[in-house]
């Protein structure tokens, strides 16, 4: 389900709460229920469970597409992958299908990790570097300059689409926001990264920031049966708009497969050229 804007939205919701439930910062984990052991990446499920009991949630953060619960000792890191979701529920409610891990927060509330496809993973670690070691720069970090981005692109002979999806190259982009950013930039998804001019690179980074910020402003995108309340899907220019007219030039949007991912672009606004 989530890319950077969706994870950011979830982090914000856990901090601030909603009409239905409070924020969870300050609450203490009283019990941990593991319904699917495969969801735990590190440490072993028994240590994971035992290590969470009695921990207070101090703050909530995000890095790339990972959610971070900073605890009184250590960090609970969560990656939702394709179908994961985090839900704050009443502690005594019946347990819905696909719940994988449940953390009881005091007597009244619980935080549930629901994940139909079981791709999601959690880590309980003392040092964040264990997980974030090879993650690339945060695109919204202002210290990440256009010049630096251009230099990184210039070193790569790869196609833009798979490169932007590579979390070691740049953090947080997924299939939606990559297609949208390339469209805004007028760049073909198969264009070689090293062929971009400094101006094209600067435009691309600006547009990456633009679509990510728009996504956050709209509380993420909600598609398929995974609904979170965001409405950025209504503003897609190309993603899953195969055959529909480009909003800029009316040319039908095309879909190709790149690196086994559906890739959407406008053949007129994003002509293929090398350099």
Q: How far apart are CA 71 and CA 68, in angstroms?
A: 9
Choice between 3 and 29, CB closer to DNA: 3
Cis peptide before 216 (omega within 30 of 0): no
* Planar angle of CA 191, 194, 195, nearest 5 degrees: 60
Query: Pick from 125, 230, 246, 253: which binds DNA (CB under 7 A)?
Result: 230
**Which residues carry out catalysis?**
2-3, 65, 261
Count CB atoms within 10 A of the CB of residue 273.
9
- Tokens 């002979």 belong to 157
Tell me which of 240, 252, 254, 268 binds DNA, using CB under 7 A. 240
Please say which residue, 2 or 51, places its beta carbon nearer to DNA. 2
CA 63, 5, 121, 26 torsion: positive or negative?
positive
167 contact partners, CB below 8 Å, separation of at least 6: 64, 65, 134, 135, 136
Compare residues 55 and 178 and give the one whose CB is closer to DNA: 178
Q: Which stretch binds DNA (CB under 7 A): 20-28, 151-159, 180-188, 244-252?
A: 151-159
Q: Which stretch binds DNA (CB under 7 A): 20-28, 69-77, 122-130, 224-232?
A: 224-232
DSSP tag of 38: G
Check residue 133 for interaction with DNA (CB under 7 A): no
CB 241 within 8 A of CB 255: no
Q: With respect to DNA, which residue has the nearer C-beta, 3 or 89?
A: 3
Q: Does 139 bind DNA (CB under 7 A)?
A: no
Query: Under rule CB under 7 A, which residues in 4-23 are in contact with DNA?
Result: 6
Find all residues with CB under 8 Å of 229, minimum gap 6, and list them.
219, 222
Structure tokens at 147: 């010049």
Contact in structure between 16 and 185 (CB atoms under 8 Å): no
Which residues, listed in sequence order, are joined to residue 70 by a DSSP beta bridge?
Answer: 59, 75
Tell me, by CB under 7 A, how many residues bind DNA.
44
Least Cβ distance, residue 188 to DNA (angstroms):
13
Per CB under 7 A, 222 contacts DNA: yes
Q: List the interface residues with DNA, window 50-69 (CB under 7 A).
A: 64-65
The footprint of DNA on residues 247-266 (CB under 7 A) is: 258-262
- CA-to-CA distance for 179 and 235, rounded, in angstroms? 13
**Which residue in the set 15, 146, 156, 268 belongs to the binding site for DNA (CB under 7 A)?**
156
Taking contact as CB under 7 A, which single stretch among the options 22-30, 68-76, 106-114, 168-176 is the one that binds DNA? 168-176
Establish if 117 lies at the interface with DNA (CB under 7 A). yes
Q: Does 225 bind DNA (CB under 7 A)?
A: yes
Q: Which residues face 125 on adjacent strands?
A: 75
Positions in the binding site for DNA (CB under 7 A): 1-3, 6, 38, 64-65, 79, 81-83, 97-98, 116-119, 156-159, 162-163, 165, 167, 174-176, 220-228, 230, 240, 258-262
């Amino acid at each position: 389900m989530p890319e950077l804007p969706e994870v950011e939205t979830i982090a914000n919701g856990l901090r601030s709460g909603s009409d239905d439930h409070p924020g969870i910062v300050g609450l203490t984990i009283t019990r941990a229920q593991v319904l699917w052991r495969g969801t735990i990446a590190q440490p072993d499920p028994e240590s994971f469970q035992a290590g969470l009991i009695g921990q207070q949630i101090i703050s909530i953060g995000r890095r790339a597409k990972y959610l971070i619960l900073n605890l009184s000792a250590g960090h609970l890191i969560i990656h939702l992958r394709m179908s994961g979701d985090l839900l704050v529920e009443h502690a005594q409610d019946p347990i819905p299908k696909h719940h994988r891990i449940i953390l009881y927060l005091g007597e009244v509330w619980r935080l549930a990790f629901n994940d139909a496809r079981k791709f999601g993973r959690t880590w309980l670690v003392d040092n964040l570097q264990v997980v974030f070691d090879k993650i690339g720069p945060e695109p919204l970090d202002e210290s990440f300059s256009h010049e630096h981005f251009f230099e990184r692109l210039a070193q790569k002979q790869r196609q833009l689409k798979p490169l932007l999806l590579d979390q070691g190259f740049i953090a947080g982009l997924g299939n939606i926001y990559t297609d949208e950013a390339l469209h805004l930039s007028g760049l073909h998804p198969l264009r070689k990264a090293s062929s971009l001019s400094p101006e094209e690179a600067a435009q691309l980074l600006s547009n990456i920031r633009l679509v990510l910020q728009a996504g956050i402003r709209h509380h993420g995108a909600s598609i398929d049966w995974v609904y979170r309340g965001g409405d950025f899907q209504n503003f897609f220019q190309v993603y899953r708009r195969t055959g529909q007219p480009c909003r800029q030039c009316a040319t039908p949007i095309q879909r190709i497969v790149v690196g086994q991912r559906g890739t959407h672009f406008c053949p007129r606004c994003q002509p293929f050229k090398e350099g």
